[in-house]
Amino acid sequence: AQSVTQLDSQVPVFEEAPVELRCNYSSSVSVYLFWYVQYPNQGLQLLLKYLSGSTLVKGINGFEAEFNKSQTSFHLRKPSVHISDTAEYFCAVSEWKGSQGNLIFGKGTKLSVKP
Amino acid sequence: DTAVSQTPKYLVTQMGNDKSIKCEQNLGHDTMYWYKQDSKKFLKIMFSYNNKELIINETVPNRFSPKSPDKAHLNLHINSLELGDSAVYFCASSQPGLAHNEQFFGPGTRLTVL
């Protein structure tokens, strides 16, 4: 079974500083990877996804992630964060059990941006 | 135009009661899911339905029963509510046949059992 590890449960950072949220996955076969964001009291929104092609993926709100197959990582980055980026961030990997597909989520990283 | 909607947004009830949460998606997807998010924000899948047929049923008490009247709706019924059922419940949908399983989430229902 696939698994996703988000190494940091909380990441505090000052406004306009760069940030990296780390994600490692377990699969050794073709993978499809996602980052979702959950703003306070809201549902999950897709930030970006890696399906194939370029290993650098750009998403909404200035975020990007790099797929690194040799390190089985998919870290999320933003060069300059805003207060409004304060949210919970979830990394996920696609998994198939027979003919049924699903997403396996990490435990989430809480990004707190301080003024 | 809401893609995945849930009602109610908040639900406060007493232990032992029976309650339902409704979910509807207008994306034309065939697969719908229910997730439970606990106080530590951990997301756990509960059920998956593909075109009204139950596909995934994780280790969930049988007090929880999903019902899908059509492929656009997946409702969650909970009988004999317990304190530990307090959580945020998310509905999601995806289109099978796509290898990557991208899912679209509803806004969530915060259930508080007193």
Tell me if chain A has a CB within 8 Å of the CB of B93: no
Q: In this predicted model, what pLDDT tens digit does every residue of A32-81 receive, in sequence order?
A: 899 999 999 889 999 999 988 889 999 999 999 999 999 999 999 999 99
CATH no. of A4-114: 2.60.40.10
When the pLDDT of each residue in chain A is averaged and rounded to a whole number, the result is 91
Count other Cβ atoms within 10 Å, centred on residue B92.
25
- B34 → chain A, closest CA residue: A102
CB pairs under 8 A between A and B: 58
To the nearest whole Å, the CA of A17 is away from the closest chain B CA by 25
**Does the pLDDT at position A23 exceed 80?**
yes
Q: In this predicted model, what pLDDT tens digit does every residue of B28-62 receive, in sequence order?
A: 998 899 999 998 888 988 988 887 788 777 778 89
* Domains, chain B, with CATH or none: 4-113 (2.60.40.10)
**Does the pLDDT at position A28 exceed 70?**
no
Question: What is the C-alpha separation between A6 and A24, in angstroms, rounded?
Answer: 7
Q: What is the DSSP string of A17-34?
A: --EEE--EE---S---EE
**Does the pLDDT at position B1 exceed 70?**
no
> Taking CB atoms and an 8 Å limit, are B50 and A100 in contact across chains?
yes
Question: What is the C-alpha separation between B95 and A97, in angstroms, rounded?
Answer: 16
Range B14-21 average pLDDT: 97
Buried b / exposed e along B46-72 (16+ C-beta atoms within 10 A): bbbbbeeeebbeeeeeeebebebeebb
Q: What is the pLDDT of residue B99?
A: 64
> Taking CB atoms and an 8 Å limit, are B107 and A42 in contact across chains?
yes
Residue carrying structure tokens 């049988």: B62
When the pLDDT of each residue in chain B is averaged and rounded to a whole number, the result is 90
Question: Which among A46, A51, A102 is the nearest to B56, CB-wise?
Answer: A102
Range B71-86 average pLDDT: 95
> Taking CB atoms and an 8 Å limit, are A102 and B42 in contact across chains?
no
